[in-house]
Amino acid sequence: PRAIILDCDPGQDDAVAILMALASPEALETLAITTVGGNVPLEKVTRNALQLAALAGRPDLPVHAGCGKPLLQPLVTAEEVHGESGLNGVELPPPASTPRTSHAVDAIIELVMARPAGTVTLCPTGPLTNIALAFAREPALAARIREIVLMGGARDLGNVTPAAEFNFYVDPEAARLVFESGVPITMFGLDVTHQVLVTEERVARIRGLGNRAGEAVAGFLDFYSRHDRERYGFAGGPLHDPCVIAHLLRPALFSGRSCHVAIDTESRLGRGRSLVDWWSVTGAVPNAMVMDQADATGFFELLYKLLGRLP
């Protein structure tokens, strides 16, 4: 199996990504969950991560709390999307375990440096603060990572400002450091994640799985979908973060283009924007595979199958 680290801010869509990864042990060896302040503050996302690991039957999985604040600016959260707990729509049993004592940044460095070079894939689905700090702290780290497959950014419109997507908006400097790190990146931005919508029929299908995980996911996706239905007129909530895991399991579900991506940290109106050089007008060497097409039907078939494997 491919070794991965889930660096996240759960969040209902991060939650689905975690459950998909933990339901696929034959393909993905999840080394740890590392958390970062994002959708809601750090304590809450860390608690949610512990509860989700237990829901997936993996209370033993190491969970490391990371940065509660972006590198240079105050944290911006998204309770209007995810609710006060970050996982509104479900009441999970209190965590059966506690976070590990080491900081997420140290854990990422230790886990990657302990394994052969080029074997660990990082899967960030929140602000990139932990990843950027890990690169700053261990200069040898970047060269040892196989790939970063992340959710963030957009080729076209943002969702927090007209320019910026939430994860890059929350910590633009971190996003910039990651895109300048030289590590191969696969980017799932809003252009592709907005094609993967959890409609009412799809929630019903998940509820119909009849297991505890299906019941919980249906509950929190009902809550999560309400925001994007009302705000953007979408048919349901976009499953942004799970695209990262689905891509690792079934690469044929998505397609995109290799191009150069720069992160705007300087302009007043554009902070956090990902400038995707889709037409190669700058001549800059590509630093990311930018996804823009998803097979949503195939994605949901995979999701039902994986959730059905859980307790």
191 binding ligand BDR? (CB under 6 A): no
Which of these ranges, 62-70, 108-116, 165-173, 213-221, lies near ligand BDR under the rule CB under 6 A?
165-173
Each residue 35-54 as x (binds ligand BDR by CB under 6 A) or -, in order, gives: ----x---------------
Beta bridge partners of 35: 8, 65
Which of these ranges, 43-51, 64-72, 108-116, 160-168, lies near ligand BDR under the rule CB under 6 A?
160-168
Q: Which does 85 bind (CB under 5 to 8 A by kind): ligand BDR, Ca ion, none?
A: none
> Is 240 part of the annotated catalytic residue set?
yes
- Residue in 125, 181, 193, 274 binding Ca ion, rule: CB under 5 A: 125
CB of 240 to Ca ion, least distance (A): 7
How far apart CA 142 and CA 125 sit, in angstroms, is 18
Which is nearer to Ca ion, 23 or 123 (by Cβ)? 123
First to last CA, the chain: 21
Which is nearer to ligand BDR, 106 or 241 (by Cβ)? 241
126 binding Ca ion? (CB under 5 A): yes
Q: Which does 159 bind (CB under 5 to 8 A by kind): Ca ion, ligand BDR, none?
A: ligand BDR
Residues in region 173-232 near Ca ion by CB under 5 A: none
Which residue of the set 64, 82, 103, 240 is catalytic? Answer: 240
How far apart CA 195 and CA 175 sit, in angstroms, is 23
Q: What DSSP line would sit under the chain, residue for residue?
A: -EEEEEEE---HHHHHHHHHHHT-TTTEEEEEEEE-SSSS-HHHHHHHHHHHHHHTT-TTS-EEE--SS-SSS-----HHHH-SSSSTT--PPPPSS---SS-HHHHHHHHHHTS-TT-EEEEE-S-SHHHHHHHHH-TTSGGGEEEEEEE---SS--SSSSS--HHHHH-HHHHHHHHTS---EEEE-HHHHTT-EE-HHHHHHHHTT-SHHHHHHHHHHHHHHHHHHHHH--SSEE-TTHHHHHHHH-GGGEEEEEE-EEE--S-TTTTT-EEE-TT--S-PPP-EEEEEEE-HHHHHHHHHHHHHH--
Residues in region 9-28 near ligand BDR by CB under 6 A: 11, 13-14
- Residue in 37, 44, 144, 166 binding ligand BDR, rule: CB under 6 A: 166
Which is nearer to ligand BDR, 85 or 159 (by Cβ)? 159
CB of 208 to ligand BDR, least distance (A): 25
- Cβ atoms of residues 108 and 142 within 8 Å: no
CB of 29 to Ca ion, least distance (A): 22
- Residue in 7, 106, 165, 191 binding ligand BDR, rule: CB under 6 A: 165
- By annotation, the residues acting in catalysis are 240
Give the interface with ligand BDR as residue ranges (CB under 6 A).
11, 13-14, 39, 78, 81, 125-126, 151, 159, 165-167, 240-241
Give the interface with Ca ion as residue ranges (CB under 5 A).
9, 11, 14, 125-126, 241
